[in-house]
Chains A and B, each alone.
Chain A
Amino acid sequence: MGNHSDGSPNHSGTVATAGQNEVEKFQDPGIPPHRLRLADTDPKAAKRAERQVALLFGASVVGTLIFLVAYFAIDLGDDSSIATIRLQNALLGVGTAFAMLGIGTGIVHWAKALMPDHEVSEERHAVRIEEDRVAAVRIVDDIVEETGIKRRPLIRNTLLGAVALAPLPALAVFGDLGPRPDNTLSHTMWAPQEGKLKRLTRDPDGTPIKASDVTLGSAFHVIPEGLNELHEGKLNEKAKAVVLLMRLDPSSLNPSKGREDWSYNGIVAYSKICTHVGCPVALYEQQTHHLLCPCHQSTFDLTNECKVIFGPASRPLPQLPIAVDDEGYLVATSDFKEPVGPSYWERDEHERSINS
Chain B
Amino acid sequence: MKALSQKRRHPLAAIALLLLGLLVTGGLYAVATTVNQAKASTTSFSSSDVEEGGKLFAANCATCHGMGASGSKDAPSLVGVGAAAVDFQVGTGRMPMQMNGPQAYQKPAQFNDEQTHQLAAYVASLGAGPAIPEESLLDEKGDAAAGGELFRTNCAMCHNAAAAGGALTRGKFAPALAGVSGKHIYEAMVSGPQNMPVFSDANVSPEGKRDIITFLKQIETNGSPGGADLGALGPVSEGLFVWIAGLGVIIAFTIWLTSRTS
Contact = CB atoms under 8 A, between A and B. Distances in A.
A203 interface: yes
A83 B225 CA distance: 7
Nearest to B157: A282
Contacts of B35: 212-213, 215
A290 B169 CA distance: 8
A268 interface: no
B198 A217 contact: yes
A309 B204 CA distance: 30
A181 B168 CA distance: 36
Contact of B25 (A202, A210, A251): A251
A197 interface: no
Given A108-B257, A117-B260, A286 B203 contact: no
A266 B24 contact: yes
A89 B195 contact: no
Contacts of B24: 250-251, 265-266
A219 B225 CA distance: 33
Interface in A271-317: 280, 282-288, 290, 292, 294, 297, 299, 310
Contacts of B28: 216, 247, 249-250, 265-266
Q: Which 6 A-B pairs have the closest CB atoms?
A: A213-B202, A219-B197, A285-B195, A282-B157, A85-B225, A82-B222
A37 B196 CA distance: 68
From B1, B196, B202, residue with most partner A Cβ within 10 Å: B202
23 contacts: A83-B223, A86-B224, A86-B227, A89-B227, A90-B227, A108-B256, A108-B257, A112-B261, A117-B261, A202-B203, A213-B35, A213-B200, A215-B36, A216-B32, A218-B198, A283-B157, A283-B158, A283-B168, A286-B192, A290-B169, A292-B168, A297-B169, A310-B169
From A38, A82, A209, residue with most partner B Cβ within 10 Å: A82
A257 B1 contact: yes
B5 interface: yes
Interface string B4-16: 1100000000000
A267 to B, nearest CB: 10
A220 interface: yes
B142 to A, nearest CB: 15
Interface size range of chain A in the complex: 35 or more
A85 B166 CA distance: 28
Given A249-B28, A287-B195, A294 B166 contact: yes
Given A219-B197, A310-B169, A257 B222 contact: no
A39 interface: yes
Interface in A56-89: 81-83, 85-86, 89
B223 A217 contact: no
A184 B254 CA distance: 56
A158 to B, nearest CB: 54
A285 B1 contact: no
A103 to B, nearest CB: 13
Given A212-B31, A250-B28, A286-B192, A220 B158 contact: no
Contacts of A284: 197
Interface string B56-78: 00000000000000000000000
B101 to A, nearest CB: 14
A246 interface: yes
Contacts, number: 128
A215 B32 contact: yes
B111 interface: no
Contacts of A9: none
A215 B31 CA distance: 8
Contacts of B1: 257-258
B149 interface: yes
A36 to B, nearest CB: 10
Contacts of B150: 204
B68 to A, nearest CB: 21
A221 interface: yes
B44 interface: no
From A217, A257, A280, residue with most partner B Cβ within 10 Å: A217
B105 interface: no
Nearest to A293: B157
B46 interface: no
A113 interface: yes
Given A108-B257, A213-B35, A310-B169, A286 B224 contact: no
B179 interface: no
Contacts of B34: 212
Contacts of B136: none
